[in-house]
Structure 1
Amino acid sequence: MSQSAEAVRVTVVIPTFNRCADVRRALGVLREQAGPPLAVIVVDNSSTDDTGVMVAGEQPAWEGRLRYVRKAPQGPASARNLGLGMACTPYVLFHDSDIELASDWALRAVAQLDGDPSLGAVGGYIVYAFDPGRVNAYGGDLGWFGLAWDVDEGKPLRPGTAAADRVWINCSAMLVRRAAAVQAGAFDETFFYGFEDTDLGWRMCITGHRVRVVPELVARHNVDPSPGQAHPEIVFHYCKNRLRMLLRNTQGHRLPWALGAYLAYTLVDVLLRAPRLPKLRALAWNLAHWRATGSLRRSMQAQRATSDRQILALGEGRAFPPTRLGGQRRRGTEGGAVPARERVGADDRV
């Protein structure tokens, strides 16, 4: 190995499922990052394509710093936790396979954490690859009874935007202080799809670790311009996860009315909008798992260093997102037509 293990301070964790071409592109971009060398762990959720063969072919060029592990398809939270547990570096970069980082992203992000011990996580602008002048996310906001959304989603990229503390960061591209993520409990592995980054960011804030976005950190997200309709199973996971998150993380005096507001919202949502069964299944799941959630809640609240009032003040103070999802997997944006992607239907989060 030409680069000493001591020189490596960042481990990149890439969860994937049937995204061989995306992972190859991501590895190529990561190899060209400015600054000290990176270590990479590709966590494969049992892909049926050539991901494993491709990574094996790339490993010699990484001189021992590229690892591949295959696991049961249990979703991105489980995959990221596996990578987090395998990492030995002080910093871990969670990096989705469909992300392309700017060439100095890692160097700038490390400088942020090095320069401020109170920071637990840092991210920046995620823009659409099909329209790099338009924002996918600049951190995330949290409503006062548990709804969450990407800040500035679909808006034009604004020059001169300031850095800002957030409740959470989209974990498509997020550098964390490994010890801070572990202290906060890492990702909840019952979150098969959705809200795992919102949940972790909230818990990092609770334990006293700041979460910050910096405009110089820019990453391109290779998604289709058309968001597509949310499958009923995705709706189930969204609803299940945000209720579990609310029950686990909400500060004691806020819980009765925040939970009451959430249940009232859910009742109206079930009555007015399909699909209805997944939303009822989500309530049933949380009832069935209330003991386990209660145990996690007691542990989380015992570590509380920051009040929910302080945490929610990092956002706009809204209850609802500025734009409804409208049954889609993500909020739409204006963008020109692009050729259909070969891997339509593949998703490294499943």
Structure 2
Amino acid sequence: MNISVIVVTYNSRAYIRRCIESILGQLGRDDELIVVDCGSTDGTPEVAESYGLAQVIRTTNRGYAGGNNLGAAAAQGAYLVFLNPDTHLRPGALAALVAPLRGDGPDALSTACVVHMRQPSVVNACGNTLHIAGLAYCRGANQQAALYRASAEVDAVSGAAFGVRRAVFAQLGGFDEQFFMYVEDTDLSWRARLAGYRVRYAADAVVEHDYRVSYSPRKAFYLDHNRHIMLLKNLGRRAYLRLLPALLAAEVITWGYMLMQGPRFWLVKPQVYAALLAERRSIRARRRAAQALRQAPDHAVMAGFAVHLDFQQLAGAAISRAAAAVFDPFFSAARRMAIGGGR
């Protein structure tokens, strides 16, 4: 088996036909499509089964991480491709996404050029950019896709559409299921970098995504909770201590952002801290597993991580410029103190 495409669904009936049809048109004789349905009540698995797929796996709602791990466990292909159900592959995208992974070179993960389905000339994510404080954001978001025609090494994959060698995915232990949803793609990428691998942006693998911006206290909780776990797992002790000023500054920023969102968000940060305290034993165990992968020092792993925070993805341009003027010099100094140099 060559390529295994895995799509996790949850009440995805509105999208799944378009997604499946774009995949089936690009599968070779030795490829497979696996749909993992996490308890849909809108008929999504029945739609998937109507295509006569080899595998439609029905399960409870295990989240993005758990659903994709289940699909990966059933996969037979040498290369795994993970797609959101609200994506659509442009012609040639599947082959272009897998191309950087062939052979045994350091490029073990690849991420697509994900564009907005309603504005196909505009970028949703050309991979993810990772800030030294663990805050991740979409690389190239809302810019013209024509500006991102060159393939490049990037910090992290975008979970909407990416590929990975199956052997490497197994070596890394798959997705961290305690994340449930959000940040799991960035965490997987970080662990891959710890193990000495690279993440490649595949510019010719163009995928349309019916992306809609949404924000809720639940989403805010998972984003912040999972960011903290990622840092605690993947940073070496010395690097973590040296980055404490930057991490504390990030706490000030995230506290401020939650307060600005209104009363519904005011308890998010205390809930995150309480959850981290309750999960401390599990976090320690997962940290040991992550550090056991280490083939690269922190300064090499974080060599490309950003010091500029793209506040414009969260707020307006004016706020972004003001925040950058205040925080960018601080983060730059903190990074030089911790590991030296950087964007």
> Where does residue 119 of structure 1 map in the other structure?
107
**2:229 paired with 1:244:** yes
Which consecutive residues of structure 2, in runs of 5 or more, have no partner in the other structure? 321-343
Distance 1:265 1:159 in 2: 30
Say whether the 8 Å CA contact 1:246–1:259 is kept in structure 2: no
Structure 1 window deviating more from structure 2 (298-307 vs 33-42): it is: 33-42
TM-score by length of 1: 0.83
> Where does residue 65 of structure 2 map in the other structure?
77
Distance 1:263 1:72 in 2: 37
Say whether the 8 Å CA contact 1:35–1:107 is kept in structure 2: no
**Could you tell me how far 1:110 is from its partner in structure 2?**
2.7
**2:227 paired with 1:234:** no
Say whether the 8 Å CA contact 1:11–1:93 is kept in structure 2: yes
- Pick the structure with more helix per residue: 2
**Could you tell me how far 1:130 is from its partner in structure 2?**
0.4
Say whether the 8 Å CA contact 1:147–1:321 is kept in structure 2: no
What amino acid is the match of 2:25? E
Distance 1:99 1:269 in 2: 30
Q: 1:46 aligns with which of 19, 39, 43?
A: 39
Say whether the 8 Å CA contact 2:96–2:202 is kept in structure 1: no
Say whether the 8 Å CA contact 1:139–1:166 is kept in structure 2: yes
Deviations 1:17-37 (A, max 9, x none): 111231121111111116545
- Partner SS state of residue 109, structure 1: helix
Deviations 1:105-133 (A, max 9, x none): 12223332115532211122100010011
Structure 1 window deviating more from structure 2 (139-148 vs 36-45): it is: 36-45
Structure 1 window deviating more from structure 2 (128-137 vs 182-191): it is: 182-191
Deviations 1:307-326 (A, max 9, x none): 232232234x3152352414
**Could you tell me how far 1:264 is from its partner in structure 2?**
4.3
> Where does residue 242 of structure 2 map in the other structure?
257
> Where does residue 325 of structure 1 map in the other structure?
314
Number of residue-to-residue matches in the alignment: 312
**Could you tell me how far 1:191 is from its partner in structure 2?**
1.2
| 1:10-89 mapped onto 2 (5 Å cutoff) | 10-33=3-26, 35-59=28-52, 62=53, 66-89=54-77
| 1:169-318 mapped onto 2 (5 Å cutoff) | 169-224=157-212, 227-228=213-214, 230-267=215-252, 269-270=254-255, 272-274=259-261, 275-315=265-305, 317-318=306-307
What amino acid is the match of 2:149? T
Say whether the 8 Å CA contact 2:31–2:77 is kept in structure 1: no
What amino acid is the match of 2:227? R
Deviations 1:64-104 (A, max 9, x none): xx311111112111100111111122111101101111221
> Where does residue 131 of structure 2 map in the other structure?
143
Say whether the 8 Å CA contact 1:206–1:305 is kept in structure 2: yes
Deviations 1:163-221 (A, max 9, x none): 11112110211111011112112111111221110111111111112110021111000
Distance 1:324 1:55 in 2: 34
Distance 2:33 2:313 in 1: 36
- Partner SS state of residue 40, structure 1: strand
Say whether the 8 Å CA contact 2:133–2:250 is kept in structure 1: no
* Larger relative contact order (Cα-Cα within 8 Å, sequence gap ≥ 6): 1
- Partner SS state of residue 282, structure 1: helix
Which consecutive residues of structure 1, in runs of 5 or more, have no partner in the other structure? 1-7, 332-350
Say whether the 8 Å CA contact 1:78–1:189 is kept in structure 2: yes
| Coordinate RMSD, CA, aligned | 2.1
